[in-house]
Amino acid sequence: MRYIDEYRNKGLIQAIAERIKMSLPGYPIKIMEVCGTHTHNFYRFGLDKLIPPNLKLISGPGCPVCVSTQDYIDSCINLAGYKDVILTTFGDMLAVPGSNSSLEKARARLGNIQVIYSPLDSLAIAQNNPGKKIVFLAVGFETTAPGIAITILKAKREKIRNFFIFSSLKLMPPTMEFLLKDKQLHLHGFLCPGHVSAIIGINAYLPLSRKYKICCCVAGFEPVDILDGIYLILRQIAEKRTGVENQYSRVVTAAGNRKAQSIIRQVFEVEDACWRGLGVIPASGLRIKREFSGFDARVNFSLNLDHGSESRLAAARVKSANLQKRCRCDDVLRGIIQPDQCSLFKKICTPDQPYGPCMVSIEGACHAYYKYL
């Protein structure tokens, strides 16, 4: 197939849905997708209504905005308070709640936070504002890391010294392994993220599949892609085998984008990272290498993120005496509950007034549930 409308063909969608029904075993199956675009399109196109009730496709931590920690947001808001600083960010970061405020509220108060569409836009702002320090809030997964690395290399080459990156970049495979260790989940398969996989390739998931005997499939984002990816996982289950299928072969290869991987390795190194609602996950983040520390906001603004803070916050939420009144984004991100099982959903927490990060971005599970269910 060559055109988008072919991947939205109703007849083909119905045919794959029937194959899914025929492939299901006689026990409940739980598949997790870890991509915000999968979450959004699964409900946007009503695919949840085409699969049987004993097949659950649950959302994991596939929204980079949603997993940005409260401590990170608080540090960003504090940075905005510097008179000589201009923060640049993607728009969906604005409403993410910190401890007492958000970037959106800080922008209304201070006026020095600008929404951009590419990290390279931040360089232009830096060049046009030589008396200011421009800090780009680098949030995302492997997909956005190459573009950010290129921006740092360009800044170094052009000797732009008033440009900084505040990195909260995260890696998906270590997080998938973290979820597989969660005894509450009992997953049968992963619908792997298409955008991330275009960079890292399907081979990146092979160690996970072999170690944990988990079925995996990289899938695209159109209705046919998503349902076909689910079917390929069910076929593995029916044939009592595990491996990594590549439904998205028109974009994703086995080895991935080696050039992009090389650029990431040139600028970044792996570190332990804290995920909102999940806590610290070993080797799941990217930090700027020492040789590029002149562009590292953590170094130049002495930003010391408390890796233990999110774990303590999660523990405090679990121990809360009034569980019915707490935000349960942590459980949504872990796939323990569906968004509508949170008592705040659609009552206190809405896209206009998000109480938790999963309601902020269109890639968040709560936002998708709110909009389409």
- Contact residues for 274 (Cβ-Cβ < 8 A; gap 6+): 69, 71, 280, 281, 285, 305, 307, 309, 310, 311
How far are the Cα atoms of 32, 68, 184, 215 from residue 181, in angstroms, in the given order? 14, 22, 9, 15
For residue 324, what pLDDT band results from cuts at 50, 70 and 90?
very low
Cβ atoms of 44 and 223 within 8 Å: the answer is no
How far are the Cα atoms of 92, 226, 344, 351, 352 from residue 348, in angstroms, in the given order? 20, 32, 5, 10, 10
The tokens for 45 are: 């196109």
- Which domains can be identified in the chain, with CATH numbers? 4-64+173-238 (3.40.50.11750), 70-169+257-308 (3.40.50.11740), 312-366 (no CATH)
What's the DSSP call for residue 206? H
Given a cut of 50, whether residue 319 has pLDDT beyond it is no
**Model confidence pLDDT, tens digit, residues 358-367:** 999 999 999 9
HEC string of 231-242?
A: HHHHHHHHCCCC
Given a cut of 50, whether residue 316 has pLDDT beyond it is no
**Model confidence pLDDT, tens digit, residues 145-159:** 999 999 999 999 999
SS3 percent helix, strand, coil of the chain, rounded to 5, is 45, 20, 35
How far are the Cα atoms of 59, 196, 222, 235, 242 from residue 205, in angstroms, in the given order? 18, 11, 22, 18, 11
Given a cut of 90, whether residue 310 has pLDDT beyond it is no
Return the pLDDT at 1: 83
Cα(132)–Cα(86) distance, integer angstroms: 7
Return the pLDDT at 307: 59
Neighbours of 313 (CB within 10 A): 18
The model's pTM: 0.93
Between residues 263 and 1, the one the model is more confident about: 263
